[in-house]
Structure 1
Amino acid sequence: MMPRTLLRLAVAGAVAAGGFALATVPATAGPAEKAKPTRTVPVRLLTINDLHGNLEAPTGSSGRITDENGVVVEGAGGVARLATKIEELRTRNTAVVAAGDLIGASPLISAAYHDEPTLEILDQIGLRASAAGNHEFDEGYTELQRVMDGGCHPVDGCSPRGEWKGTSFDFLAANVLKEATGDYALPPVYIKTINGVKVGFIGLVTATTPTIVTAEGIKGLQFTEEVAAANKASRWLTARGVKAQVILMHEGDQVTQGQSPDACPVVVGAGSRIASAAAPEIDVVVSGHSHQAYICKTPDPAGQQRLYTQGSSFGRVLTQIDFQVDKRTRDVIRSTVTADNHVIRPSITPHDKIDTAVSYWKEKVGPVANKPIGKITADLSNSVDNTSPAKANPETPLGSVIADSQLAAVQSTGAQIALMNPGGIRTALRFEQSGSEGPGVVTYGEAFAVQPFGNIVQVKTYTGDQLKRLLEQQVWSVAPNGTVTHRILQVSSSLTYTFDTTKPVGQRVSNIKINGQDVTPTQSIKIAANNFLMGGGDGFSVFTESTDLFSGPVDLDAFSAYLTANSPVAPPAGGRITIIK
């Protein structure tokens, strides 16, 4: 048998080269074939997305989800319960696949060992393929190759399990190329024979990855438009007789908060665009990235209804997709395609083997995770109610504390303000006792869950005009259903300004003050932010206009030091950003 690495390269090279004439398939059946009785076989897919290394059920809002009956389930998720549900639903005609962000932005139990614990357990669960997500690139392309192929981490060495053996599955990306050669950086497709028929899986990652991952993480890679890449891979599969085709896509849409995980519609966005525009030969689209749960159908370019699903995040939902394949045509019978999003409830009995594996990693990381580093007087929330403009207030207590911590960490450089991207704040800090440490005590593990990326706090010098243009790059928009989409930076206490959502872009920001003094267009301002933002992340390109770079501590270290030095930390009063709606 060809080694997996060589097979991966062979498939990628073949898709890139084309060569479709070598395996042509009749486009239509002849009269004699039409007379034959249709014979079908069932295929089942079990899919997950955006696990983010959550081996244990997440707490707070991250573990909360509304079920099919409108009941809010608390403490959903946990890979041991997920494994039980997979075992319950798995049949001989089943493949377990995923839509990306399985690793990256992970809790300490997984991230402490570069997500090897999560990948080990996904192998045990039987995962066969996953789209690459943007977070798979958090530690860089070379590290992504290592976790697939094996070998110990080049800096931290081997984990307690010993030398890492690699995964038995691949991360797929038909729209990620090497800039130098144009070759695929990752396998574009995966073909699996299920119940006697071949099913082709096409991997896609959001084309916005360069704006939401550090520049170093995607160095040397090109992220192309998703539909064109999917259609190229689809043609390659079709030419080789693989007619049943599924996209595993790390891109998705938003939904109305609190709706059933089996409901549609979605707020139409990038996910719907790809799901409706991809080639009609593609039968099913499994999505991710937006952390929503939905089951939709959308017309493909030929007018046929095509299933389009997503399964929330953090292991809270397992998506079951069933369809029949015509053994004669080898294609999916679209009218048979059904789906169901199963909530992974806390009442599910954990799978013994997986539960033992989670316990092993929890024990190994325990001494570090349980170390107290500070105290808080009340919850520090990172949540924003976006259900209507009246409720939406993008300034959060935890965002303010983190911005303050980053400014404090580099204030010796002359830094005057700090800005923090809200997407980099992964969970809240809760006052309620979570272990044996007592109420209000913050442990290193809890702080890590808030900031798991290992970004560096940096300082650059800008003018007042550049600061205004930077703040103008923030986003505030209202969908037809009233849902607010925003990307508003969290700010240190030294900065105040007004953001008027009723005015056009370019005229929204006014009254900018630093330490109570008006900012002039020509004055020099030293701004602190993490290296993700400094590289133009989240679309804040003005950050790249300065080059006098100073690199300070890791953001988590700055946050931890601030909590230690200022305990107990109370929720800030707010009012740093005045929003006019």
Structure 2
Amino acid sequence: MSAPTLTRISLAALVAATGVAMAAAPATAHPKPPKTVLVRLVSINDFHGNLEPPTGSGGAIVNESGVSVPAGGAAYLATHLKSLAGQNENGTVVVGAGDLIGATPLISAAYHDEPTVELLGNLGLEVSSVGNHEFDEGIDELRRVQDGGCHPVDGCSPAGRWRGASYEYLAANVLKEKNDRYALPPVAVKKVGGVKVGFIGLVTRTTPTIVTASGIAGLKFAEEVESGNRAASLLRRAGVKAIVALVHEGDQITPNQSPDACPVTPGAGSRIAQGLSADVDLVIMGHSHQAYICKTKDPAGQDRYYTQGSSFGRVLTTVDFQVDKKTGEVVRSSVTPDNHVVTRDVTPDATTAAFVQTWKDRVATVANKPIGKITADLGRAGGQTGETPLGDVIADAQLEATKTGGGAEIALMNPGGVRADLTYAQSGSEGDGVVTYGEAFTVQPFNNLMQVVTLTGARLDALLEQQWQNGGAITRILQPSASLTYTMNLSQPIGSRVSDIKINGTPVTDTQEIRVAANNFLVGGGDGFSVFKEGTNLWSGPLDIDALVAYLGAHSPVAPPATARITLAG
């Protein structure tokens, strides 16, 4: 593949814009000026539009002392960010590592995430990599969010014509299929204290498997390391030698560790952090919703940090480093990263609180509408089988919504699409046990279409075996409706772990034809479940959020089901 052609940026323009040719400063008397400039970065990743303090397990995090504390909320985030950004007299660059929007609560999603983008701009965000969720509504919508204009279908929000983001999205490995040109700018350059710092944006190359096909139509997602190295070379040719990669990819960790520890299980994040060329001084990551600060060796044997700051605005990452004024290079030994928990024991920023309240008031009529009741928390935490109470309820809701028109016999829900817990305690003034539309939407925010396809019993078995991928490095347990039961044996090799599949208590045969309901993301082969694409007789029905709302309304109060649909053997 030939090197991509830049859009909105050329080498000559980059050189001009960043002032590579700089006038020499006049000689001065004692004391001699410092030979380096202190640069501070503050980063945020996977914010997902959490303007209000997140609830449930997504609203707490283990701090540096090993204690789980409430964290997040835009007004608290603003207070922490302003404090951290104000500690460097040379100025601070606020950056992002993707998934700032997409899969957002109703307060943001109802207005196509314009409130979140505006807020982040107000807080000083200057540049961010794209994440996979930035593509949820497609590249054209992402460009509208970036550049401005009212939504082509829903029109302008209550705030009027959208002016566009005040920060820039970068994507050095997202190319147009038709000509291999960059779909978005690959790099950006910022000045801090007179020195230039270059930023590269990268997003996980697995994006086509975790975003609906319509969201990435016409795009290619190239390998991250090769693309990042090409972008770093571009910056070096423009005279920019202090280089930071903003990467929407990351690793999993051993849970309940300090956010400043490095308890990672090496995966895609570590691969990228180790593989990027020695021209890259620092790697700031996202995607896996974990908090860690790790150090590795770059290809030249130098120490290089890679970091991630959890999700939902619960952690801000600061990175301080010195840049040599003469050479423009980062002094690697000076790099000092730190993860700061966004605690709620500070005074919330009044301006941000008022901003959030404005949008909360605008969406209140819809968001605060009671739709049902629950008897206890419905959570996403599961046992050894990976089955969860909330996942079961959602699968039951989807089956009920697709039986009549689609003839569904079973339903399967991808666990990554369950974005929050439903908590028994009231989140506002609705009363304990009452579920509002806004709370349900936070759980199911994608507006995916419910679909039904026909699979044989043998292909259903093959589909369930795809819950273990990449040699077992990835496990995604599909949440089953009550009509489906089976046994899982983790001691067996991958491909032979599922047995005793039954529908309503009757064993499934290999040749039996089964109507299987799932959202359009899964039916399109999302999350690596390629067997779904073999399904026949496609039927499309209601939105997934509508299915959940209808189910809660019809069956209230809903109690947490026993997670016994999957039996563990061996």
Q: Quick check: TM above 0.5?
A: yes
Matches within 5 A, 1:121-200: 121-200=119-198
Q: Is the 8 A contact 1:38 1:326 kept in 2?
A: no
AA in 2 matched with 1:362: K
Instruction: Tell me how far 1:37 sits from its aligned partner.
Output: 10
Q: Distance in 1 between matches of 2:236 and 2:162?
A: 36
SS in 2 for 1:105: coil
> Does structure 1 residue 554 correspond to structure 2 residue 546?
no
SS at match of 1:69: coil
Q: What is the CA distance between 1:433 and its match in structure 2?
A: 2.2
Q: State the SS of the aligned residue for 1:100.
A: coil
Which letter maps to 1:438?
Answer: G
**Structure 1 residue 265, shift from structure 2 partner:** 3.4
- Which of 443, 453, 469 is the matching residue for 2:446? 453
Q: Secondary structure at the match of 2:252?
A: coil
1:29 maps to none
Q: Deviations over 1:44-70 (max 9, x none)?
A: 000000000001110111011111111
- 2:507 is aligned to 518
In structure 2, the partner of 1:72 is 68
2:28 is matched with none
Q: 1:9 aligns to what SS in structure 2?
A: coil
Is the partner of 2:265 in helix, strand or coil? coil
Once the two structures are superposed, what CA deviation does each residue of 1:103-136 show, in whole Å capped at 9, x if it has no partner? 0111111111110000010110010000100010
Report how far residue 382 of structure 1 moved: 1.1
Q: Deviations over 1:125-172 (max 9, x none)?
A: 010000100010111111111100111111111111000000121111
Which letter does structure 1 place at the counterpart of 2:119?
A: I
1:4 matched to which residue of 2?
none
The residue number in structure 2 matching 1:3 is: none
* Residue 86 in structure 1 maps to residue 75 in structure 2: no
Mean Cα deviation higher: 444-453 or 568-577 = 568-577
Is 1:452–1:556's contact at 8 Å kept on the other side of the alignment?
A: yes
TM-fit CA distance, 1:486: 2.3
Equivalent position to 2:291, from 290, 293, 304: 293
Within 5 Å, give how 1:208-287 maps onto structure 2: 208-287=206-285
CA distance in 2 between partners of 1:171 and 1:433 (Å): 37
2:292 aligns to what SS in structure 1?
Answer: strand
Structure 2: how far apart are the matches of 1:340 and 1:18?
31
Give yes or no for contact 2:385–2:488 (8 Å, CA) kept in 1.
no
Q: What's the counterpart of residue 309 of structure 2? A: 311
CA distance in 2, matches of 1:338, 1:144: 33
Sequence identity (%): 63
Aligned residue type for 1:404? D
Shift of 1:38: 7.6
Determine the structure 2 residue equivalent to 1:545.
Answer: 534
| Residue segments in structure 2 that go unaligned for 5+ positions in a row | 1-5, 22-31
Find the counterpart in structure 1 of residue 41 from structure 2: 45
> How far has the Cα of 1:329 moved from its partner?
0.7
Counterpart amino acid of 1:292?
A: Q
For the Cα contact (< 8 Å) 2:56–2:422, is it kept in 1?
no
The code of the aligned residue for 1:392 comes to Q
Query: In structure 2, do the counterparts of structure 1 residues 107 and 545 end up closer, same or farther at CA, with 3 Å as the change threshold?
Result: same
1:330–1:477 distance in 2 versus 1, CA, 3 Å: closer
Report how far residue 430 of structure 1 moved.
1.2
Given candidates 418, 422, 435, the residue that maps to 2:411 is 418
How many residues are treated as equivalent by the alignment? 549
What residue identity is the alignment partner of 2:82? E
Quick one: which of 357, 367, 370 aligns to 1:369? 367
1:24 positional shift: 11
* Residue 337 (structure 1) shift: 0.3
Q: Residues 67 and 18 of structure 1: is their aligned pair in 2 closer, same or farther, counting only changes over 3 Å?
A: closer
CA shift in 2, pair 1:476/1:222, >3 Å: closer
Worse overlay, 350-359 or 210-219:
350-359
String of CA shifts for 1:310-356, please: whole Å, max 9, x gaps.
11110011111000000111010000000111111111111121111
Superposition RMSD in Å:
2.1
> Residues 55 and 575 from structure 1, CA distance in 2 versus in 1: closer, same or farther, beyond 3 angstroms?
same
* Cα distance in 1, alignment partners of residues 278 and 79 from structure 2: 35
Does the CA contact (< 8 Å) of 2:98 and 2:131 recur in 1? yes
Q: Secondary structure at the match of 1:526?
A: strand
- Note closer, same or farther for the CA distance 1:208–1:478 as it changes in structure 2 (3 Å cut): closer
Deviation of 1:478 (Å): 11
Matches within 5 A, 1:501-516: 501-516=490-505
Q: Which runs of 5+ in 1 are unaligned?
A: 1-7, 26-35, 385-390
TM-score, normalised with respect to structure 1: 0.91
